[in-house]
Structure 1
């Protein structure tokens, strides 16, 4: 009788006792590959569990074995001919798959003497064995099906095939790859070094006053952990900033390139092109001065870098920006707000870091304790040395340790590079070549692209990269980007130079432009150089033009920066085939990167035969370009990048490039046709057609792209995605912003898709198919009305984005998506009724946003939630959120307008002790719970429409408090000592704000539409207040106090206002807006305002004069509207760019009109006397200024220039 096999359950695995679990069929492999592998793992200090399935009896997997499977980080089934004959092997395999699904445990199969397809499809002996189990009728159909599913799942995974390889070499490769995978699993950025104390020091200096601009400098010798510390602080602060930039490798990057990267990252504009440093400084000042930025400038070594990027002492970024500088030279940090010196780690932390890399745990193995302590002392507390040397010794025996430490002891402590060089010398020739390539050229590059060149050069990158990463000489970071520590990068540079006897012409790699020109001028240099980066300038052109031919016989990588090419460059050269007349011969060239490639150049065919990567992005090439014919010689081409080639209307014939793996045509704005020959690209993995706006159709031959994994068609004009049955490997399909896309058939690729984006399209029905592998689904802005019940098959889905679409309900099957982490269904107007109660089953859900929907009822939510946004209508009932103890960010806005919906009870809110941000808006809410002040971690609080007459005591750690539309009459903030921002608006009953004068940390104060507010306390003590905005407080008579830090002041619509703050408050003022204050007769203090940049004075009927503005040397914008008594504007306004004067009928004179040399925009209306005198010679320069275009306004000009206007 068939019976189910029993498996004893264990809890979620804790810290693994084993690192690797081996599953194998004893008679097939015990005395063969299994024994080789197990012994090699133990010798490499990898904790491995080896199961002998033949020794077991009974019908159950016991708890010890089950624990071994579940607590291992990696499981390795060794598939041999008779593996499926063993029920135990099959049971183990089912458990591996279960652990993979539940906890992400990795499975790496070895295909010993069978093909993956036999395992996957149960053919050959596997099919016979499964049928045999079935025929015996000892096991249920469900058990048999579980076995088949597990075989199918694992058979699809990437692993190792033995085939005809020698077992010793094969085992060695497996162990090497396991070592790097186990190391990656163990280490994280935050755990690389124990830096809590240093992080805390910086965070304490920054404090919670995020509105204060600050520059922080971190200095210390190379390898001490400066970059790591900056990264940790950057990551901690990132959430508070809309604009961010991390400039790494500053030492070796040209300043103009750094400026381009800074501006592009902050403005999210990929293709800005700064051509010189001065232009870059101007652009940074103009574009970023109103942006709140978090910026890291890593490894600065020249003052010119800081002058060009941040200008220490200047204000180039918006209020609240944070700049972190790392350098080895403390002298460069003069003028920064805070300096921190990093020194070596103490012995305890050093031993911990060393052990993590040498043993993959926090302490050494007992038999290596003495040797480990010795190694730690040699490393002198330097994290990089501890990491690199620990990695070098990982898996080695005692003899190797002793020999290595003996060699290290001979090197003085201060000679860090010599110690690191030992790791370099231990590499093979190919590994050294790759390491030096990365150090000199490829930091930040996608390793998947660079690998093509190394493969072509037979550097064996697969294994070499594993060794380099295992030994901590390189890292492969997020996005598959290569990274090398700056100390190791410098080591690589020094090795290249020393090997060449410090002679550039003997160097194999040249990365400096000046040296590159020198090298290219000598025959010896042309012969020796293998990789070079050069600028396309007149020096380079002259050098090539004067030669009959240039032969670079060993060059494999050529990068030409053509960013400065202009009409002058073009005219300097003949318009004929330049390379044909003066050919450059590059017989070994593998990679040509020449953005803005000049079309009058011509390849030589001999230079293309070995080419594998070609980047001609942003070039002027066309369909008729002669180079297409020459490119047919590049039979081995793997990567072709034509991004931004705006004159390209049709792609070339791809018939000669059947090895192509990546084709990038992004932002080819005129592209209308992809050639049908694309179907011949059987190896194509990536096709990028993003923002080819005129592309309306994809060829039918796309179906033949059987290797394609990533298809990007965002922003195109395609109308249909047909069923491509051949794309069985497609993992990413991104078709966002395809406004005409209405049909999409994904049946052919649904099982393999991991990422699907159909947002902002016309898709109205979700495509059919089995999307069991899908991880992210984006449907925002589409016409989708419902999600199918088949969504239950999306067992791997983590992100569901359905904003602003026509969705009417969420299916109950959504509760089956155990891995779902984020749902955003905001702005779905048609989404009504109740959220399915099954949502409580989503144990991984962290983020839920349901703003502006028709949802009426929220069920109990899972305790895993950390971020929740509920903005409801009058029908939504307030949920009980008392179980959400992990909630950090809550936005709850509900409307109660009918008797059937009384004001909600929020008694549960005090239990949410982890809350950091809270926005509460519940119409009709009369009371807040008394334990509200117990939310000790709350930093930001927004109260909207609260009807309570007096607030309870608020959490005293608040740094931001906003109150809008509330009914209280007195607001007491005297106890909120950490408050830095206060906004109070639309509170019609408010008559007094108590304790305002005690808010010593207050930096920003906004008061708006407070009709009963009569007075404010003296604000003299608010030494940190830099922004003050008071709007439409009609009974307010005066603003008292001396505000010496004030930079931005706005007083609008205060009809009773008679007195401004003390004149010394204007000393540092940058922006001043005074309007609609009918009783104000004068504005005193502007005569001392040296930093004033923008002045707007409007609707002041009693104002007769302004102070002399001569000292306002930075004044660029001046607006004077409807001041009928104003007679004269005094002062030399040398920096003024925009002048707008309306309705000032008495104004007849500027004391020095000739000083307005920089005037660019002039806007004068309803000023009869002034318009008359404009005809005089004295005002002739004004006529050169442009007029504001119709429909524009000075307010809009000011806002675009200065950001948030006061």
Structure 2
């Protein structure tokens, strides 16, 4: 912040304060000798002086102490005005100190310095409220507000930077206290005070502004309103008046004004007048592509030409963008140097070249690049391309293009371009040419975005500009179904986004959607229409800068009837949204109070209606800046006392199917996901451990759930996700979950416990463990270690389980005893990807253990499966970092043994293994990082499987359906 401005405030305010003090006191103040006083004196860290204070400074220390507060305090003390400057940072405890109450009691004038973080301080708010109360009791007291880099409207309404502060106070302070603070801010914010602002102004696109009607006056208005932060500029009607105001301000105050992209239409003195003796020290930075334009400025001006990059720096910049390193790979070196040479050292053009490289396979691009293709690339001004063939005339090598993008890849017809200095476009094929290659988007008239796409059915649309110059749009697939057309929307009066997506239409044309006054997004998504989209959204709450919406409608034709009938049913909306989506009812979901997301989706014909209809008492807590929600196939309805939002952060619910109850979720403590899914008639979840900032959960089928909570207060969960849930039967605390990382569980047909799950393996943030169908889960022997009732007296879990990284158990029952034994192995923590799938659960043999496969030394994938009573396998030479294997069905396996030490195997598989008998790994030439083999049914494999005539050096995949072929044929086939 400019110290000059602060000093000005410091000079101006003390005389005003003096004027407000009683007259007898004033003469004695002015007669005393002025001394130099440091800002620290008079702070509340010192004992209070005897006698009353005259001025109390109320401020947020970190924002203003070393800026306006110190300057103002120093001036006041020098003028012998007794001033109380408190230091909130040295206070301890919650109570309002007596010294502070006494200082407020004594002070006649209260100076409130509102700054960005003011409302985060309970002390600032408490002082303000106390003084407002005193003022209402004693009419002689005076409050003087200073709005330091904040808008007085934000103070009055507690919006902008103050809004978040009050949301945070909701967690710590009761509603009555918050109401008192807000009321004090509203009253003081409405008083006349001093608004201290930044004195910098950046004015872009001067060329475009000057080409508009009344361009000079409008530019003057823009600058005046930026530097004065006032609407006074609206009343300026001619150049002379604008010039006088600008000269006056610039001669009195120091400004930095940046005027970007001027051309020959620009005349400095026509806008600012002749500025002589620039005593204020204001500075102007003017940028142009044309040095002659800058030559017309005043004699005091200094020209600076931004130099081109030298070749080496340009190549380095190119390489960083294209290849994420300082130099190009040798395979692309020549091409990279060619592009950099053509870019002529202009940084933007160098970066453009990298966008082309990123978007295209380089061999395709190099075919297109040749010197005749886009000659003089230094004038390009961005492109992108992606290409596989490019036809047409590329309008005399793209004069001053200004973005484009494209794609093509055999998307039929398009190029030509130029379109007089474009400003974006995109297209991104696949394009079929019934828009006559979009008729050169009606010559573009300095376009401002567009996008398009267009596809198969196409049947016309674009013909926009005529230049109300666009400001975004999109479209995507457009028309047909069999052959609607129309659209138009009256040259889209400066829209500001829109979208549409899969389109189709027949009608809309030249009016409404509130005639798009500054729009700010909208969309329609899978959109259809055929006359006339509920009279083009019956003036959608007359917009007032909308902030997104979405919708997702179809309209006309019986198959679209129901979603259409819902189309924004009682309408109303904006007040100015912040996202939504819907398939209708809302009107006007208690006036939306700056929503922040929502969704709803199919709505099942006139569904939804969450807030109760009975007055103000629980109106979704006035939505208080919601933060997501979602819902999906809908038809809800609810109340009988519904809480929600407190301000959510996601939730979902999804297919709903006639819901049958939910809330409380007491009261969400800033959820962080949840989900739920198909919902058939829920049955419980109300508080779900009061969610303490959950971090996912999920649940899925729910089929009439039958309880769930505790999940011992979820300590910031990190996933879980159960699946179909048939009638759960326990789960409970899972040992407090200390930030879990995944788990899952799945179908759970009447689960039967889990409780502490061995204190979730001592909270080392396990990474996944899946479990699956779970018939009655009984033998997870360490599942409730917390309870001392674990049925696993001799099971000693290791003290550390370093982030497991996936363990899938399927079907379950006795296999879970094996898990218990595996967890005794000290090496298990470094397990990488372990997947034990037991698929024929009824046949799993009690003898399964197999000395848990050589202690699984840093495994790296295994997967067994079925294993119906196994018969041999052991210890696969301690696995030596395995790299896959598999095996599968295994009816009565008949060996496998050491597979020659596996030496970092790289695949195999096997599958059916129908009495495999042996697989002498010694004959597999010690594997040498094998690289696949598959096999399949394995009928009577035995000794004939020997690689007699190959050493398998990094074999790349070999499959054999061994039930049909003699494997020797595969190994010994004659050479061609």
TM-score of the superposed pair, with normalisation by structure 1: 0.20
Which structure is higher in RCO with an 8 Å CA cutoff and minimum separation 6? 1
Task: Work out which of the two has the higher radius of gyration on C-alpha atoms and give 1 or 2.
Answer: 2
TM-score of the superposed pair, with normalisation by structure 2: 0.24
